[in-house]
Every structure is written in C-alpha cells, then in structure tokens.
Chains A and B, each alone.
Chain A
C-alpha cells in the first residue's frame, strides 16, 4: 500500500521479500538502467511481484506477447527486488515516484537500494561505444559507502547527480534508507548495452550474483534495435523537461 504519496501507488502481490536489495532502473542516458534491469530480470528469472502506478504516469501501455501491461513493474526472487520502468520518468512524477520507492524500500526493511543508470560521456560518444565504460558510484551513508567499495565502482568524488536518481538518494536519506547509485559512462543519445554490461558486473560483485554479461554482449545488436523507440522517447522527454524547467544542459 502507498506509504507517503497519494499520487504514486506501489501495489504488491506475491511473496514479500525480507530485507531485500532493491535495484532500480529507469530510462536515461544510453538506457543503461532499463537495459541492465531488464537483463537481470531475464537472466535470474525473477518473478513478477507488483507494479508502480500513478495518474501522472505517461499514457503508455507496454505490449509484450500481445498483452497490454503497465510500464513500471516490480520483479523479485529470494532477496533481490528489481523495479524496472519501460518509460521515461520525468518532472513531478520523477520526484513522487522516487519518494514512494524510497518509502516502500524502507517499509520492507531493504538492505540497500541500488539505482543504476548511465552518465553521459563525451569520450564514449566520440568513440561510438568503443572500449570498456567506467562505472562510478555514490552512496548516502556509511553502509552505502562500504557497499560501493565492495562493488569496485570508482567513487564519484565531486559533481552532481540530477533527476530521478537524485530524488531517490534524497528521499532514501530522509527515510534513513541506505542507498547507492551506480553510473556507467554511456552514450547519451544511443542505447548502450556495453555500459549496461559494465554496471551489471559491479552489481554481480556487490550482491554476489552471477548474471552472465556475455549473453548481453551477444544480444547487443538486437537490444539496440528493440529499444530504438524508447531511446527516442527518452530523448524527447528530456528535452521537454529541460524546456519546462528552464534547465541548461
């Protein structure tokens, strides 16, 4: 049931996880979060456990095998929970959903909330995705910093995290929920499965998982084809959001 926000609802069905690690992915630069979470769900055969909905969700139903479904779902197994969004989450919804996800994680006594996303990288754009992307991380408390060290992600020394993941860190901090965000260097404008692969490797180390990224590399071409429209929507949504808030990019 919704904890704090009447505007976003988290509905659960199925077995509840105990002290889970909650991985969160929404579409941003390189669609890293979405590609990585989608792949983790597939490889670990996570079961559907719920969904996130809001009247302010974009009017999109995702179609899989001729079935129309909500765009944001919760999957889980044992103590892993993955919250995956297949639509861009911007503006007010971004804030409200981050708040609700943080509150929900606290309510299920999550061990750690891990946001995964891409950080736009000039070098990666210029080399068209050649080379291995670096993964940096940021945490919000001692436990999170320890987790970051374990994962092998480089500490993000100085800078800014913005958007959905910034709100996620903010509200997790407010609710005293340990959380980290892992950012892989990615091409901002094109789906970047290699960046998703790099971040999954860190998740594997951090949570002792064995998600096989070689399969992701093999499926790279197909993923780039399948996510073309989502990348286009994500780019448009980001532009609209910038215009609305007057942000300078």
Chain B
C-alpha cells in the first residue's frame, strides 16, 4: 500500500503544463544545466527560436545570466500576428570563476557558457606527513 508521505510528496509536487510555444508578453525562464568540472564550470541555456543577435549573456565571478527579447511576425494567409517574448534567467554558481576568461558559444538556440574556475595558489609548504599507526 502507498505510504502516506509518498502520496503527499506526489500530490504536492506542483505540476502544471501550458501548451503555448511562446508566452506572449511574459518573461520566461529558459531551461539550463550546470556542470562543475575540475577546471571549468559549464552552463548551458536552451533558447529555441531565438537568434544569436537577440541574446545577451552576462557573467560575474559567481553567476551567469541570459537575457533575450524576441519579436516575431507570423503571417497566416491574410492574418498577421505579432508576438513578443522575453527570456531571462540567472544561474548562481557554486564555485568562483574567472569571468573575464569566459566563452559563450551559440548553436541552434543552445548557448554553452564555459568559465574557468578560480584557482587557489598551491600551498608553499608540503603538508605535514602523518604516520600511520595500527
């Protein structure tokens, strides 16, 4: 039988789904992923339908943000609709990075931001060696 808290967990996970491809006149949060490697932090944003010159990526030592404004005119027969959508998201990084050395690649609406991690200077002295006792 279902445990009560399993059921609660299930029912409390807020799930809703909207069908629109672009939410007109609202700010959307694009999907993103964050990967922390040994030397680099990689953040990927997914902005389908957006052109390269419509995106602005900004980064500081501890966060990366994306902003994009899209205006599209769609023509279907004699009807012309103009839609506007705004994407905005800020990703806080769990480690410090060197923002000046960041790179951002755009491909097909996916933006990959690669930031080198801030390296601490290695210890001048080797640590104290501990003797292993039984």
Contacts and interface: CB of A to CB of B under 8 A. Distances in A.
Nearest to A237: B13
Given A240-B13, A244-B9, A190 B31 contact: yes
A56 B10 contact: yes
B31 to A, nearest CB: 6
Interface in B1-23: 2, 6-7, 9-11, 13, 15-22
Interface string A83-94: 000110011110
B31 A232 contact: yes
Contact of A62 (B2, B10, B17, B31): B17
A64 B31 contact: no
A224 B46 contact: yes
Interface stretch (A124-132, A149-157, A169-177, A205-213): A124-132
A243 to B, nearest CB: 9
Contact of B48 (A125, A224, A230): A224
B44 interface: yes
B9 A56 contact: no
Contact of A221 (B6, B18, B44, B49): B49
A191 B31 CA distance: 9
A225 interface: yes
B31 A60 contact: no
A59 B19 contact: no
B17 A59 contact: no
Interface string B22-39: 100000101101010000
Contact of A130 (B20, B33, B107): B107
A234 B89 CA distance: 19
B46 A190 contact: yes
B13 A229 contact: no
A236 B16 CA distance: 12
Contacts of B108: 128-129
Contacts of B102: none
A43 interface: no
Contacts of A93: 10
Interface string B103-114: 000011110100
Contacts of A232: 31
A177 B74 CA distance: 49
A230 to B, nearest CB: 6
Given A91-B10, A92-B2, A189-B33, A60 B109 contact: no
Chain A to chain B: the 5 pairs with minimum beta-carbon distance, closest first: A224-B48, A128-B110, A189-B33, A225-B21, A221-B48
